Structure 1
Amino acid sequence: MEILVCVKRVPDTAENEFELNSAGNDLDRDDLVYSVNEWDNYAVEEAIQIVDNVGGNVTVVTVGDDESEEVLRREMAMGANNGILLSDDAFEGADGKGIATILKAEVEKGNYDLILTGAQADEGAGQVGGMLAAMLDYPYASLVNKVEVDGDAAIKVGREIEGGNQEMNELDLPCVLSIQTGINEPRYVGIRGIRKVAKLEIPVKGASDLGLDAATVGDAAAKVKRVDYFVPDMGDGAEMLDGSTDEIIAQLIERIKSKGGLA
């Protein structure tokens, strides 16, 4: 089975103190520490486990600048067979649809049975997987927390739905899945593994390589633009409730009653 996993280089929330840029429309990214998106790690681990069981190859792909290559090498050290960097000045400022358009062009250059993405990335939109599937006209499932390979033509997937319930579906291949955290335990990547892939060649593809018109992706084509980015002001009168869960619930009920919210 040929599996393509879409990954992203994002700011590491454990290693950074975030500040806004001077324009107030993004983070100040000059000195941030980056790592692979957490959700994507689970997608890569799931792809590796599938290939371990049924055979095939795992390719990781990312849209970004030269520094995004480190994310690909990290996932290759984890066990992915190949990496592809999609990088072009024309891609800068792309919104979710633009990223999905770029990824679609790469998918169509290959012969993949399964495309995986993380359920969401750093901006929390959770939209690229669904857009990519729609553009490819492939079956799609989101919030996937279980995958069962059932032959060469279909797979069974479990989804987390409202109320903590589990939903099982059968999807024809090829298809796109957005993987939820907790589906597995991503394996540890050691220094030896990183050194092993340090000199492997990673192809870099731009708009012309993918057959894309630069005007259809990037900032010029983006229909969604961030116009403001701010930290909410601290509210007045906030009160922290202490105690066990039952004690906090009891206190909360009393306060709601005192405000006329409960009879």
Structure 2
Amino acid sequence: MAKKIVQEKDMSFLDHVEILRWHLVRSAAAIFIVSMGAFLMKDFIFNKIIFAPKDANFITYRFFCKVSKIFGTDGLCITEIPFKLQSLDMAEQFSVHIWVSITAGFIIAFPFIIWEFWKFISPGLYTKERKGALSFIIISSFLFFIGVLFGYYVITPLSVNFLGNYSISDSVERNIQIGSYISLVKSSVLASGLIFELPIIMYFLTKMGLITPDFLKKYRKHALVVVLILAAVITPPDIISQIIVGVPIMILYEVSIIISKIVIKREFKKEQQNA
């Protein structure tokens, strides 16, 4: 019978907290080191990345325009995003610079953070499961980075274009505070990255016995409603944007069902072998 590996016998709650604390400290240190590098790359991060979706020549807008022309219309072509960014507080730009650097540090250091998370939970896993560390880190990081790219190249441009062009009156000038703009970019990117971790979350919930494939299938319709609500929250309130965001999330949900089935089958085989 496979046995779970533990670091120490009869560890107290405080012992576990102490171990967790050091994992968090190392993760925070990694984020800090990467953030320092991001802080020094101010021009590239802001001008080439953060402010890029504000430009009508951004790759996403050009792609939508090409797709629009295929169908014989210019309806999706964007020629201008009519708003200017402004800073109203003395320390706002410096504060924004720090928080963007920390966000970049978290995104880039994500594989290391996942590695620390794995080291924390691995003592409670079986020996065979511990050997899957590399696969877990690669898959988790891949899904997260795909989600980040999806948030940056899809959700952010849709939101910036819609909100930047939305107007209640011509008498209102579109001068957007820089903190508001960057908050939109950060929330879109991070939320998307974390949402794409859904299959990993479902894997562990299945391992813990909290969900089953039948449970996920039973509440598929409810999940669809939640996904549409979520898509409405993180995207502009138009049906096209919600579909663009909702479809990948539903695909991830279906993938989660498959993963849950695989986990259940493996657990069943283990029980038969140990019987």
User: Which structure has greater helix proportion?
Assistant: 2
Indicate the TM-score class for this superposition, using the shorter chain for normalisation: under 0.3
TM-score, reference length from structure 2: 0.22
TM-score, reference length from structure 1: 0.23
Whichever of the two has the greater Rg, that structure is: 2
